[in-house]
Amino acid sequence: MKVALIILSVTAGLLLGIEVLLRVLVGFGNALIYIPDAECGYLLAPNQRVRRWGNRIEINEYSMRTGAIAPLPASDTLRVLLLGDSVANGGWWTDQMDTISEIIPRQLRLQMCPLSTDAQLHSKVNYCDFEVLNCSANSWGPRNQLAYANRFGLFGALVVVLLLNTDDLFASAPCSAVVGRDRAYPDRKPVMAIVQLLNRYLIPTVPREKLTTPAAANEDKVGCNLEAIRQIKTAANLANIKFVLALTPKRHELGESGPNDWEVKARSRLAELVATEKITYIDFLPIFNSATELTIGLTKKTRFLPKIVVFFDKYSRRNRVFDPPCVSPVTSLYRDSIHLSPQGNQLVSQTISGQIVAFFDHKS
């Protein structure tokens, strides 16, 4: 009996220690939760603050990964609406201050200041504050993002940025079945951190394909997503809002191998849409490739450092160029096959902010 009590006490103490460590060091026990939504498929539940591995994650009342906001910006604030998926969101591996939506405002302050000294541009760039609203969730595609914009509006933004990755061109229609059934989309807080650990990494989950409707498997997903992109762009135009479409590649698309055949076809269809709709488009595939080539040149101590052409400015009728931050080979731009590292986030943020500045850097 005494031995059993000792074993029980040691086990309870061990479990308690593990529970405390998981909560304090990892952040388990306070998971981000999702809510089903008929139009968007699912949303991050409003008003959440959690930490994972020390990274702060804050979700506001509009299910954005952004702090509390006013429905409309102040007159001296340049507001940007960022629609995206886990690349834009940053996930648990990115601290709130290191997300793309937090880096872009800092870049805008740096890039807008020189323009404010120009007498002809002063009235267009006389902003005291810059904010980027991060409307995103894991595995969202263009149809989820369109549904979000239709439901919540554009929040008085002057610029809408739709940030996609190549996989998003093949995204399924919004589906709420994953909430509470896929372990990546919990609908309630776990009773214990240990339970979350077991559920997250040890207990098998329902295959994602079983959580989609059979009809969805036969649809032209690329065509449906291109139509959603067109509708988001149209909504921005009707509100007299500038629109930017940006596409980040998957890691395997970089280098000589390039995208797979089906990705090439999807990118070709996207290029047709961009040309037809006259969309301001940033393709990060050549930008990432150039950044990698630049790094290789630096390691060989080459003296010539080529600039990277980011976009053609239709107002000034000249190519805008951008000096990328020094990055190591392609692997340092990514943390996995899709999601970006801090260096990747910096490169994407600097490029997008440069395009936003270009909208204002012209004399009418």
The length of the chain, given as a count of residues: 364
> Rounded CA gap, 270 and 200, in Å?
36
Largest CA distance in the chain: 89
> Rounded CA gap, 242 and 240, in Å?
7
CB 35 within 8 A of CB 45: yes
Average pLDDT over residues 128-142: 96
**E strands along the chain, which residues?**
34-37, 41-44, 48-52, 55-59, 77-84, 129-136, 159-165, 242-248, 280-283, 308-313, 318-322
Residue 143 clears pLDDT 60, i.e. is over it = yes
* Tens-place pLDDT, residues 170-226: 999 999 999 998 888 999 888 777 777 777 777 666 666 656 655 566 789 999 999
> Rounded CA gap, 26 and 53, in Å?
4
- DSSP three-state, residue 315: coil
Find residue 162's DSSP bridge partners: 83, 245
> Rounded CA gap, 47 and 64, in Å?
9
Please choose, from the candidates 305, 283, 282, 288, the residue with its C-alpha nearest in 3D space to the C-alpha of residue 346.
288
CB 340 within 8 A of CB 348: yes
Minimum mean pLDDT among 24-38, 153-167, 290-304: which range? 290-304
Confidence bin at 277 (pLDDT 50/70/90): very high
Average pLDDT over residues 327-355: 88
Average pLDDT over residues 240-262: 96
* Tens-place pLDDT, residues 62-113: 999 999 999 999 999 999 999 999 999 999 999 999 999 999 999 999 888 7
Average pLDDT over residues 332-336: 93
Within a 13 Å sphere around the CA of 244, how many CA atoms are in the beta-carbon half? 31
CB 43 within 8 A of CB 37: yes
What pTM does this model have?
0.85
Please choose, from the candidates 320, 317, 290, the residue with its C-alpha nearest in 3D space to the C-alpha of residue 305.
290
Chain centroid to CA 326: 22
> Rounded CA gap, 191 and 282, in Å?
44
Average pLDDT over residues 277-294: 90
Helix (H) or strand (E) holding 227: helix 221-238
Burial class (CB in 10 A: 0-12, 13-18, 19+), 39: middle
> Rounded CA gap, 251 and 258, in Å?
9
Residue 320 clears pLDDT 70, i.e. is over it = no
Residue 299 clears pLDDT 60, i.e. is over it = no
- What rounded mean pLDDT belongs to the chain? 85
Residue 44 clears pLDDT 90, i.e. is over it = yes
